[in-house]
Every structure is written in C-alpha cells, then in structure tokens.
Chains A and B, each alone.
Chain A
Amino acid sequence: MEELNALFGGFAVALSAYHVLLMVIGITLGVIIGVLPGLGGANGVAILLPLTFTMSPTSAIILLTSIYWGALFGGAITSILFNIPGEPWSVATTFDGHPMAQKGKADEALVGAFTSSFVGAIFAVCLITFLAPVVAKFALRFGPAEFFAVQFLTFASFIGMGRGSAWKTVASMCLGFALASVGLDNVTGTLRMTFGQDELLNGFKFLVAVIGLFGIGEILSSMEDGLKFNGAAAKLRMDAVIRTWKQLPKMTMTFLRSCIVGCWMGITPGGATPASFMGYGIAKRLSKRGDNFGKGELEGVVAPETAAHAAGTAALLPMLTLGIPGSPTAAVLLGGLLIWGLQPGPLLFVEQKDFVWGLIASMYLGNVVGLIMVLTCVPLFAAILRVPFSIIAPAIVFVCAIGAYTVNNAMFDVWMMLVFGVLGYLFNKLRYPLPPLVLALVLGDQAESSFRQAMLVSQGHVGVFWSNWLCGGIMTLGLVMAFWPAFQALRAKLAGNGAVARPA
C-alpha cells in the first residue's frame, strides 16, 4: 500500500487553495478551448506553456493538465448542440448526441457525456495509480506490427456501422484514405499528390475536414429545413442530472467496455480519437439497444465519451514512464516537463515522487472539480439552442472559420473548410455515411506508416502480423470483427432457410 501513502501525500500537495484555484482557471480555459473548434488542447497547452516557466513544476502541471481535462469535457458541448466536434475525439459523440439534442434532450446528452467522461478518466487514473510500472512494461511490447494490428482492429470494429449500403461505406472510407495520403509520405520522405501546390504540403488536416463536413454541412442542412434548430423548443428543466443518472446504471457493461478500450488505446498509444470510435463501434455491436444507435440513444453518447476520456487520461502514463507521448497534447506537456527540469522516463517515479504523486492526485481532483463545474453549467449550455437561428448560425460559421484558420494559420484552410461543408451537405443528401471518411482521414496515414514499417522490418512477409500471440491475437480479433456482419447475415439466411424448410 505504498502507493496509497504516496497518493495521500500527493493529495496534501494538490489540495492547497492555490492549486484548486489553478484547477478552476485551467478547466475554465480548457472548456473554452474545447468548445472552439480548431483550437485544440495541444494548441492551448502550447500557448500557455511559456507562462508556466516561473511557476513550480507541480503548480505548472496542475494548471496545464486542468486545461487538458477542460478540453476533453468541452469537446462534447458543440458536438451535441450543433453537430460540430470541437475536438477530434468528440466526432463519435455527434452520432447520437446531436440526434438527442434534436429530440429536445440536449441536457440529458450533455449530462451523459460529462458523467461518462468523468467515469472514464477516474478509471484510467486508478490504473495509473496502481499499475503504472506493469502497464509501462506492457507498452514496450508494441512494435510496428502490433500498432498496425490495433489500428486494423479499430477499422474492423467500425465496419458495418452505417445503416446504408455497404458499398457507400467503402466509397466513403476510400475517399478518406485518398485525402489522408496527400502531403509528405513519412516512410519514403517524398511528397505525394500535392501537384506542386505549396498549400497542399500539409495535407488535409483532420480538423479542417471535420469542421467543414459536420459544422458547415449541418448549417446548410438546417437552412434547408427552415432556419431553425430542431429541439430548440424543449423545456428547460433543472433535474437533468438526476433524470440522466437514473438511466446510467443499466449501461454498466458499456461503461466497463469503453473504459478498457480507452485505457488500452491511450497506453499503446493509439490516442483518444481511435478510442472513441472503437468504443462506439463495440457498444453498437454488443449493446441490446445497438440498433437504435445513431437515432439519439444515450448509450451512444456514453460509449465514445467514456473511451475518449479514459484514453486521454491513460495517454499520460506512457509519457511519464517512458517519455513517449500518447497524444499531441501529451507531446507538448512532455516538452514542458523537460523545460521545468524534469526528465520523463523510467526514473521519474523514483526521483520525483512529490511531482508524480502531486500530478496523479491532481488528476483525481481536477476531474472532480471539472465535473462539478460543467454539470452546473448544463442548463446554460442547453439554453444556447434557444438563441434564434439567424443569430447563432452566422456566429457558428464565424467561429468555425477562425477554428479552421487556427489549425495551420493558413487562409487556404478556411476555403477548404467551405468546400468540405458542401461535400458534407452532399453526403447527407445522397445518404453516404460521413464517419468512415472521418475515421480513414484520422487513422489512415498512421495505419499506413505502421503497416509499411512492419513490412520493412519483416522484409515483406505478411506473416509478421502473426509472429507473436499479442499481435496475432489482435489481428485475428480484427478479422473476426470485420467479417462478423457477413457471418451473421449468412447465419440469418441459413436459419431463415431452415425455418422455411421445416413447415414444408
């Protein structure tokens, strides 16, 4: 119980009035950063990093991680209210969160999202508290082949999610892969499909695409539907928290599955975005109410949010114990640690006990403070929908444009956002699913890099993906997931034939 003693020591450090004040400031800033699309947690932390050089390392990391928690919470708000994911990991939250808002249940969706974020984070912090050394060792087993296996599993768990034609899903995913391949090819170090245009050097940034496809596309659709938000007329009731919490115990298994998926993806390090997609995909597949996913099911909000927040928190573990960041924000925090004179790595837990346990204690406290803050603001957030469309829509377009510009500080991205907006609208009209495109865009080049690294290592033998139990197990699971819909369809057909045959 050495860990518990150390943890209580940490609480003593983190619970000073000054540190709690820093948490409140950090979470407020983080929620704002999370709400503004484009200005992601990584940017927010990077901008504020130099301000913290004069603070003690423990105070600085408490401020910066609080911004991180705030951004994780805040990303859900615009996803639910306006179908605009403020952060990449809240894309999956829009699938059911926005339909809930359209049905007038925005407050329930928000409470569900915040609560599940909290549960995911606390689960991951507990993992960090007690299992850090073991887990860190496990992460070392991940080479290129293992990474590809995990990414393959993400794609596989996502197949069959669209209700429309399977061919449309494939078409959408292929367009995503094509967009992901523009820019620098990391494996050969050459430029691809830039056609000599300097603007395309950066490739298509995920955030620009998402802001356009979801945000601008949604505004265009709303304009067609009569210049108002569906669900705006819903009554504001103050009991949203209790109403929602009553529904949550039924979803224990979803919580648990998403927590495990999230921690796994955060540690390996796959990151919060794939975790949220995988969490959603698995819940849809395994939940009793899976067929209703996409129409406004609370469980469809809980699953990705829990996984995203668990992954976001667990991503700090490889950063602290191995010195590899599990997410872009963790990468910036890692730079901060070096500047404060701390060397992340295997010895940090031994040499900087006060700092590490202060940080871990602040993870618990930061999330509690964050949850209380965002829950009290739910009616306020939900009330935004009551602002007339003619006022809020231009404001959204304006904020989206700023967000797209911020990603690379380039005007080109604002035009790209508008083009993606039209594309998003057309996708909706033609009933092509957007999620496969987004997933391919965010994971496509990572998966490609891992696959090609693995091929380099094995000198071109595909057998490398079954060269050990870890990698082989994940790949096999991925294949099962990928072909499960086909298998089920086949079984249903056979069963159907049997049923027909018996009466005859």
Chain B
Amino acid sequence: MIRRGTFKVTGIAGALALGAGLASPALAQGWEPQKPVTLIIPAGTGGGADQMARFIQGVVQKHNLMKQPLIVINKGGGAGAEGFLEMKASAADPHKIAITLSNLFTTPLGTGSPFNWKDMKPVSMLALDQFVLWTNSEKPYKTTKDYIDAVKAGEDRQFKMGGTGSKQEDQIVTAAIEQQTGGKKFTYVPYAGGGQVAVQLVGNHVDSTVNNPIEAVAQWRAGQLRPLCIFDAQRSSYTAKVTEKEAWSDIPTCKDSGLPVEYQMLRGIFTTKNATPAQVNFYVDLMKKVMATPDWKEFMEKGAFNQTFMSGPDFEKWLTSAEAQHADLMKKAGFLATQ
C-alpha cells in the first residue's frame, strides 16, 4: 500500500513536470525542514560512521548550510538495529536522516532483525570506505603473495585475523580471503573497535587485519604496520606521500596481487520511507553542499576514501547489487541468521 502511495506521488510530480515544465524544479526545491533534523548513527561513539556524522554536523554548522539545527544521536544497539528500526518506525517523519555503514546489510542478514534498506528512502552515497590488508612490519611478509603463501603452508587456523565486530564487514572480507587460501581458515578474533584492532596488530597479538585506512594510518606512518594490498578494483587516487616513501596510490590492488577479493563499505545517507521527492532533494542538495567544502575534501584524503557520489536510481541500483553481494558472501561463510 505504502509503496503504491509513493509511486503515485512520483507519478504526480512527473505529470506536473511534463505539464508545467518549469514547475518541477520549483516543486523540488520547495521543501525545507520545519524543525530540527535528527541524524541517527546506527553505531557507537568514536567509530568511523560516528566521526563522519559529527564531521557533517560540524560542516553544516560552520558554513551555515541549513536554517534548522542538525542533531546527531547514536543508536547503536544490536549492531545498529536500534537505529534502523527507529528509522523504519518513523516512516512519516521526514526530519530524520541516518548515516549507514555495512551493517545496513549485515545486521538484518546476520541477526535476523526485521528491517531492510528498502524500509528507508535512499538519499545519496557520500563515499566508499576502503579496506586494506595489513601485517606487522617486523614480519617477513613483503607482499600479498608472501603472506597468502605462508597461510597456505601453515596449519589450519594457525594465522589470526583481527577485526571489528562479528559477522560484519571485517569478518566478511576475511571469509572472502579464505576462499583463496586453499582451504586454510583464519582464526578470526573480533574486537570492539578499529583503533584497538590496529594496536593489537602492532603488539603482534594477531597476524593480520583488514583495517580501514583511517584506522591504521598512524601506525603505518610510524613504520609499525605494512599495507599489503587494497580491496578495490583500482588503486587509490591519492598520490600525496603519507609515509616518507609511500602514498595510498602505491598500495597495489589485491586483485593484481593474486588475491581476487574486492570489498568496500558504503557511507551513505538515508531518510525515512515516506519522504516526498522534494524532501529527498533537499537532503541531496544539502549533502552536495557539504561535499563541496574544502573541509570535506581534506577529510576524504585523510581517510583515503573512494569519492564516489550517487543518488536517485543509480544509488538504488548500487544498493540492490550490494545487498545481493552481502547475502552471497554471508551465505558462503555461514553467517546468515537463518543458517
């Protein structure tokens, strides 16, 4: 029923655009928040999504991009289910937006919490967060091949992979790598946060991690960690030197290094399900304004994010395929709640 309602609104907007020509942009820009907008973070304080949300809040405030204030709230219970369920329950309130991470797909699949990204309205993709295979620089593994060969030659579960959370992105990447190690599994050790994971690797308590760039860059620069490969189709586009010798762009892709695994994490914005096209457009424009600031560009470079912007049908198409990819990876790894 609800879906048909949304379709009807789109239909009317389309008819207006056809009939009145210029009326459509006026309609699209016609909505503005009437009260403070709440930005829900389906994760705890201090993590990657939290940092980005608070950064957006700071940029909106500093550059005065919205008349109403933007309020940031953490709702990270049940691997983010708490925040997503609140978005689902407030379908009629367009003054709520949420920032997402991979738990948008992994939480409903892994815990069986009753929600789906289709219970919200996609606004835009802000960026894709990268994953890098790291080892301790004291270890003899200079390349991806060295490391994967060592895993293949070792005992099953001899090598320990540290990661954030369980049945979430880090463990999914680990499961994908395990398909390329000739049947040898890692012992996956789940920790509470990415910063802690990087430090555990420096202390040699695990053998490797798939930390996001921003989580391990400090230890890389200090010469404690070594990046082996990046789980993207292309090398990173950031060519500025991060360490004395290397830039993000110097890290080879895993595919070229003989480990054909690709994975990236969505950083996107959603609003509530019944939002009108005008309301969605307001948030798309707001995010475009945020992304046009120099502060944003600096933030992207620090975390070596893949700067891909998407909204509308492109974004929905991307979400559909990403959901299928997660369902497939999690099914192969045996992480589904129904398994």
Residues on A facing B (Cβ under 8 Å): 42, 46, 49-51, 53-54, 139-144, 183-191, 194, 198, 201-203, 318, 322-325, 328, 331-332, 334-335, 338-339, 341, 343-348, 408-409, 449, 453, 456-457, 459
Q: Can you list 29 A-B contacts (CB < 8 A)?
A: A46-B54, A46-B74, A50-B57, A51-B61, A143-B205, A184-B77, A184-B79, A187-B166, A188-B167, A189-B79, A190-B110, A190-B337, A191-B78, A198-B82, A198-B85, A201-B82, A201-B113, A202-B78, A324-B193, A325-B195, A331-B46, A335-B46, A344-B218, A346-B222, A347-B218, A453-B189, A457-B187, A457-B205, A457-B206
B214–A338 touching, CB < 8 Å: yes
Q: Any chain A CB within 8 A of the CB of B157?
A: yes
Minimum CB–CB distance from B182 to chain A (whole Å) comes to 20
A183–B78 touching, CB < 8 Å: yes
C-alpha spacing A350/B160, complex, angstroms: 32
B75–A409 touching, CB < 8 Å: yes
B139-147, B196-204, B259-267, B318-326 - interface stretch: B196-204
B208-230 residues with Cβ-Cβ distance < 8 A to A are 214, 217-219, 221-222, 224
A345–B165 touching, CB < 8 Å: no
B199–A339 touching, CB < 8 Å: no
Which one, B191, B199, B221, contacts A453 given CB within 8 A? B191
C-alpha spacing A345/B199, complex, angstroms: 10
Minimum CB–CB distance from A315 to chain B (whole Å) comes to 13
A346–B77 touching, CB < 8 Å: no
Name the residue in A203, A322, A328, A408 with the highest tally of chain B Cβ atoms < 10 Å from its Cβ: A322
B263-296 residues with Cβ-Cβ distance < 8 A to A are 295
Give the B interface residue count (CB, 8 A). 61
Minimum CB–CB distance from B171 to chain A (whole Å) comes to 8
Query: For residue A459, which residues in chain B have a CB less than 8 angstroms away from its CB?
Result: 157, 187
Residue of B nearest to A339 (CB): B55
Query: For residue A51, which residues in chain B have a CB less than 8 angstroms away from its CB?
Result: 61
Which one, A190, A191, A201, A328, contacts B45 given CB within 8 A? A328
Residue of A nearest to B57 (CB): A50
Q: Any chain A CB within 8 A of the CB of B299?
A: yes
B82–A202 touching, CB < 8 Å: yes
Which one, A50, A325, A456, contacts B61 given CB within 8 A? A50
C-alpha spacing A50/B57, complex, angstroms: 7
A341–B298 touching, CB < 8 Å: yes
- Given A186-B165, A188-B166, A189-B190, A54 and B62 touching (CB < 8 A)? yes
Q: Any chain A CB within 8 A of the CB of B168?
A: yes
Minimum CB–CB distance from B144 to chain A (whole Å) comes to 24
Residue of B nearest to A452 (CB): B190
Query: For residue A338, which residues in chain B have a CB less than 8 angstroms away from its CB?
Result: 51, 214, 302
A346–B46 touching, CB < 8 Å: no
Residue of A nearest to B335 (CB): A189
Residue of A nearest to B89 (CB): A198
B195–A323 touching, CB < 8 Å: yes
Query: For residue A46, which residues in chain B have a CB less than 8 angstroms away from its CB?
Result: 45, 54, 72, 74
Residue of B nearest to A54 (CB): B62
Which one, A186, A189, A198, A334, contacts B192 given CB within 8 A? A186
Query: For residue B59, which residues in chain A have a CB less than 8 angstroms away from its CB?
Result: 53
Minimum CB–CB distance from B90 to chain A (whole Å) comes to 12
C-alpha spacing A53/B56, complex, angstroms: 11
B127-151 residues with Cβ-Cβ distance < 8 A to A are none
B34-50 residues with Cβ-Cβ distance < 8 A to A are 45-46, 50
Query: For residue B165, which residues in chain A have a CB less than 8 angstroms away from its CB?
Result: 186, 189
Query: For residue A191, which residues in chain B have a CB less than 8 angstroms away from its CB?
Result: 78, 111-113
C-alpha spacing A177/B335, complex, angstroms: 27
